Amino acid sequence: MFDVLIDRSAAEPAYRQLYRRISDAVLDGTLAEGMRLPSARALASQLGLARGTVEVAYAQLASEGYIQGRGAAGTFVAAVDVSPAPSAPGVAPVASWVPWAARPVTAAGLPMPFQMGLPALDAFPRKLWSRLAARQAHALSPLSLVNLDPAGIAPLRQAIARYLAVARGIAVAPEQVIVTAGFQGALGLVTRLLEVAGRPVWVEEPGYFLGHAGLAAAGARIVPVPVDGDGLDVAAGSALAPDARLALVSPSHQSPLGMALSLPRRLQLLDWAAARDGWIVEDDYDSEFRYVGRPLPALKSLDRAGRVLYVGTFSKTLFPALRLGYLVAPPHLTPRAVDLTGLLGPLPAADAQATVAAFLAEGHFGRHVRRMRQLYAVRRAALAAELAKYFATDRILLGAGGMQILLRLDDGADDLAAVAACREAGLAPSPLSRAYAGPAKRQGLLLSFTNLAPEQAPATVQRLARALSMALRP
């Protein structure tokens, strides 16, 4: 009856596989309300897992309401509740759809086509990177074993400040640059610095899932503010929550819809912040990739009043496992931001910082970004051309930049069902509906083109079209 297969060679940890299999079984009724589950000990022995592994899976299932412990009587399948998951005792809930739990790989061990948030893995200069990393390791001096500044190593902060001046039109002192553990580390630092817990914050609707979920996890009250063709609707935000603590925006390339925040809206947003003592968090996540027209300078470059906290990341330009990003704070917030990162993290490892610093300072970064921009332009065009063979062109939204194409579905369609069907077909698009903090107004699929070689595009899009025609048949 209780036949759970755990794939030990999979990248997904065993406890998450177990969690998913049991939660799926509860949702689809294979495990019915009131059924008794084996004890953690018995299941562990049956599956050849450590008992702790099963306990972790059970604890998560219990905390999300799938199962219920009844003391000595055992553990039972609970009545499934589709309202938001209750949390562990005494701790607040976190959005439960976490993308990293769902980063599926192909039989060859590569990410499935269309996965979001990844640079072209086949085009990363791994040999060059290894050489620089090895050189940093060999150059290790006794003093370099001791890290002196919680804000990051000086060469990296200088290199980032130079890059921001040249590429993004932002004039900052290296001392204002704080190296973080990627976007998440920067967002975590911002939530502490601005003490968002219990306060309203504006997020773009739709917007970046990890931004929404991160702010919610920090205890902020999420105020979804609609976006239109000019980006965030500042007037709507002012009407909904005039005294919001911050606005999280992606001005150069709205995530996920792709438009830029227009200049009037930029000025309106800056005015709002100055007038209402609000802060603007600029997520400039993929500004490097723009294929049409000239790149816009960062919103931060217009920030006369010192209300913009700028967040950049190397996850999209180098690689996600590097987990390095940075926060540029206005001068009067910088000392406290440095103290906070020194006291409570993130504090990235010095080795990784040194390798990135060398990559930037020696000009490799600029060359790599230019090369990727060309490669992505080709892959984007190839995917768009194939999509146009199966779908109406007004459904295919390219935007002027970014790393994905949006395929709009009918408003009445269910993009989660579409994603599930695609997954069966070995494809991993992301559902547009999950980009909404509130009820989804649009359905669609986000299709990353960064890892799709042009020669693979025809067969891959054919598979996509077939999966969708099955899933969305009325």
Residue 294 as a binder of a second copy (CB under 8 A): the answer is no
Q: Nearer Cβ to a second copy, position 277 or 394?
A: 277
Residue 125 as a binder of a second copy (CB under 8 A): the answer is no
Residue 456 as a binder of a second copy (CB under 8 A): the answer is no
CA Rg value for the chain: 23
Q: In the window 171-190, what residues touch a second copy (CB under 8 A)? A: 171-176, 180-182, 184-189
The least CB distance from residue 384 to a second copy, in Å, is 25
Q: How far, in Å, CA of 226 to CA of 193, rounded?
A: 26
Q: How far, in Å, CA of 42 to CA of 393, rounded?
A: 55
Residue 319 as a binder of a second copy (CB under 8 A): the answer is yes
- Comparing CA positions, the residue from 452, 418, 400, 138 lying closest to residue 286 is 400
The least CB distance from residue 218 to a second copy, in Å, is 6
CA dihedral 109, 114, 116, 117 (to 10 degrees): 60
Contacts of 141 (CB under 8 A, 6+ apart): none
Q: In the window 393-452, what residues touch a second copy (CB under 8 A)? A: none
179 touches 324 (CB < 8 A): yes
Q: How far, in Å, CA of 179 to CA of 152, rounded?
A: 5
Of the candidate spans 330-338, 381-389, 412-420, 452-460, the one that interacts with a second copy by CB under 8 A turns out to be 330-338
The site map against a second copy for 75-104 (x = CB under 8 A) is ------------xxxxxx-x-x-x-x--x-
Contacts of 335 (CB under 8 A, 6+ apart): none
* Beta strands per DSSP E along 303-378: 308-313, 325-328
Residue 218 as a binder of a second copy (CB under 8 A): the answer is yes
Q: Nearer Cβ to a second copy, position 269 or 337?
A: 337
Residue 140 as a binder of a second copy (CB under 8 A): the answer is yes
Contacts of 193 (CB under 8 A, 6+ apart): 309, 329, 333, 336, 337, 340
Q: How far, in Å, CA of 185 to CA of 381, rounded?
A: 34
Of 79, 137, 275, 470, the one binding a second copy (CB under 8 A) is 137
227 touches 210 (CB < 8 A): no
Of 48, 71, 109, 293, the one binding a second copy (CB under 8 A) is 109
Q: Nearer Cβ to a second copy, position 76 or 319?
A: 319
Of 129, 285, 326, 365, the one binding a second copy (CB under 8 A) is 129
Q: Residue 81, exposed/middle/buried by CB under 10 A (0-12, 13-18, 19+)?
A: exposed
43 touches 31 (CB < 8 A): no
Of the candidate spans 165-173, 224-232, 235-243, 416-424, the one that interacts with a second copy by CB under 8 A turns out to be 165-173
Residue 62 as a binder of a second copy (CB under 8 A): the answer is yes
Cis peptide before 113 (omega within 30 of 0): no
Q: Please, which residues bridge with residue 44 across strands?
A: none
Q: Nearer Cβ to a second copy, position 323 or 379?
A: 323
**The two three-digit tokens of residue 353, written as one number:** 């910082």
69 touches 81 (CB < 8 A): no
Q: How far apart are the two ends of the chain, measured CA to CA in Å?
A: 34
Q: In the window 345-404, what residues touch a second copy (CB under 8 A)? A: 345-352, 355
Of the candidate spans 24-32, 126-134, 288-296, 363-371, the one that interacts with a second copy by CB under 8 A turns out to be 126-134
Q: Nearer Cβ to a second copy, position 218 or 419?
A: 218
The least CB distance from residue 296 to a second copy, in Å, is 23
Residue 165 as a binder of a second copy (CB under 8 A): the answer is no
Q: Nearer Cβ to a second copy, position 305 or 388?
A: 305
Of 24, 81, 228, 339, the one binding a second copy (CB under 8 A) is 339
Residue 60 as a binder of a second copy (CB under 8 A): the answer is yes
The least CB distance from residue 386 to a second copy, in Å, is 23
Binding-site residue total for a second copy (CB under 8 A)? 110
The site map against a second copy for 19-58 (x = CB under 8 A) is x------------------------------xxxx-xx-x
Residue 460 as a binder of a second copy (CB under 8 A): the answer is no
Q: What is the DSSP letter of 101?
A: G
175 touches 337 (CB < 8 A): no
Residue 138 as a binder of a second copy (CB under 8 A): the answer is yes
Of 2, 13, 271, 453, the one binding a second copy (CB under 8 A) is 13
The least CB distance from residue 362 to a second copy, in Å, is 16
The one-letter amino acid at 380: R
Q: Nearer Cβ to a second copy, position 255 or 443?
A: 255
Q: What is the DSSP letter of 111?
A: B
The least CB distance from residue 124 to a second copy, in Å, is 6
Q: Nearer Cβ to a second copy, position 55 or 414?
A: 55
**The two three-digit tokens of residue 184, written as one number:** 């998440």
Q: Which residue has the tokens 């939660």?
A: 23
